[in-house]
Amino acid sequence: MTRPPQGAPGGMQGGSSGPSAAESSSPPRLGSPGTPAQPAASPTIATAADWETQPAACPLCARPDGRLLWRRHGFRWLRCPADGLVWVEPRLSDASVDRIYRMVDARKAAVLGGSARPLSGAPADGVSANGAERRGPKQQGNPRYRGILGGLAAGLGGPGRLLEVGAFDGDFLAVARDLGWQAEGTEINAAALARTRARGLTMHAGRLAELDLAPASFDAIVLRDVLEHLPEPLAELRRIHRLLRPGGMLYIWVPNLGSLTGRLLGPRWGAVVFPWHFVYVDGRSLPRLLEATGYRVERLASANLLWRLSDPWAILHGRGAPPGPLARRLNRWAGRLLAPLFRRLDARGLHLGAQLEAWARVDGAGPIGAEAAQGPDDQRDIRCGSVAP
């Protein structure tokens, strides 16, 4: 996978390498999976009706209805009244999302003269697109990555076997390896896989559900800007739970819809709010999601500002432009300036930074009991009514 998506236009995340920019100019039509139609040129921006979609429900309890937050481009953002999760309805199909990532890759290549690195299915929002690789001492000195890995090592008693889901170009894995971890990753982007393997890193090709990884074989698993891209986060968290040994740890870095920026900008929050982010969490709903799938949350914190008013959906269709370098630098500066305030608020249970990070631990044999652990990944035996509001 973006992390998610970082640095894709308007906060967009890239995908596997695909067609040329000309081929990527039109989305797949509803009812024709994976086969893009060629509609006549239009001055308007395409809406949900122009893409292959499917119905969506609350990712935690499968409740089909929720409180309407806003509508944009034919999509609705709905909040579950019981567990607080927000989801997009209708949901873009896998074929549509893959098409979007290829469109982003082609657009970036056209803008940067072919020097853009193809982005993966879920890259981290904000990754630089200049094609430079960070290696050796520079990587090992990355304070952000070192902080994550240090927190995991402290919780586990030292480095162990680590898996990053959606490892993209392997920068985080390289730091982990340098710090003594047995680091591995998953990735669906062929170009990113080749680039990462060329660095001597262990990579698994495909989505987590497609891989034959041994149960209870990892000490730590990392999701950096991945959770929001998962159409079925409940199923994915269960898969991860089965891969972690008893006492193992999960680290998550995800946008915070309940942040100061999210509250002020709402549907105009261009860093986060776009239709191929399927699920949105805040400081209350993320712990509920983790606890419902068998994790014990040990620490929850927030950081950054991410003030951005661009419209990624419009940019995708050739309208508008992503933030420039100055805007990105100002965002970073503001995030550092506000960091002490966010830490003080975190201590009071008020998580107002633009991104949440959670350290959670696996206790016991399975996320919701032995029967569920052996059942299908999409089994849903959690109901909204059983979750405390």
| pLDDT for res 105 | 66
| pLDDT for res 107 | 67
- Exposed, middle or buried, 246 (CB in 10 Å: 0-12/13-18/19+)? exposed
Per residue in 91-139, pLDDT (tens digit) is 999 889 888 877 876 765 555 444 434 333 333 333 322 222 333 444 4
| SS3 state of residue 174 | helix
| pLDDT for res 261 | 95
| pLDDT for res 104 | 73
Q: Is the CB of residue 257 less than 8 Å from the CB of residue 280?
A: yes
**What is the C-alpha separation between 328 and 274, in angstroms, rounded?**
19
**What is the C-alpha separation between 238 and 2, in angstroms, rounded?**
20
Q: Is the CB of residue 38 less than 8 Å from the CB of residue 23?
A: no
Contacts of 212 (CB under 8 A, 6+ apart): none
| pLDDT for res 162 | 98
> For residue 84, how many other CB atoms are within 10 A of its CB?
23
Task: Give, for all 389 residues of the chain, the pLDDT tens digit.
Answer: 434 333 333 333 333 333 333 333 333 333 333 333 333 333 457 899 999 999 999 999 999 999 999 999 999 999 999 999 999 999 999 889 888 877 876 765 555 444 434 333 333 333 322 222 333 444 456 899 999 999 999 999 999 999 999 998 899 999 999 999 999 999 887 778 888 999 999 999 998 999 999 999 999 999 999 999 999 999 999 999 999 999 999 999 999 999 999 999 999 999 898 999 999 999 999 999 999 999 999 999 999 999 998 899 988 888 888 888 898 899 999 999 999 999 999 999 999 999 999 999 998 543 333 333 333 333 333 333 333 32
Q: Is the CB of residue 107 less than 8 Å from the CB of residue 9?
A: yes
The domain 136-374: what is its CATH number?
3.40.50.150
> For residue 379, how many other CB atoms are within 10 A of its CB?
15
Cis peptide before 90 (omega within 30 of 0): yes
143 vs 102, 123, 130, 146, 147, CA distance in Å? 31, 19, 20, 5, 6
| SS3 state of residue 356 | strand
**What is the C-alpha separation between 89 and 71, in angstroms, rounded?**
10
| pLDDT for res 370 | 31
SS3 content of the chain, % helix, strand, coil (to 5): 35, 20, 45
| pLDDT for res 6 | 34
The ranges assigned to domains in the chain are: 136-374
Q: Is the CB of residue 83 less than 8 Å from the CB of residue 285?
A: yes
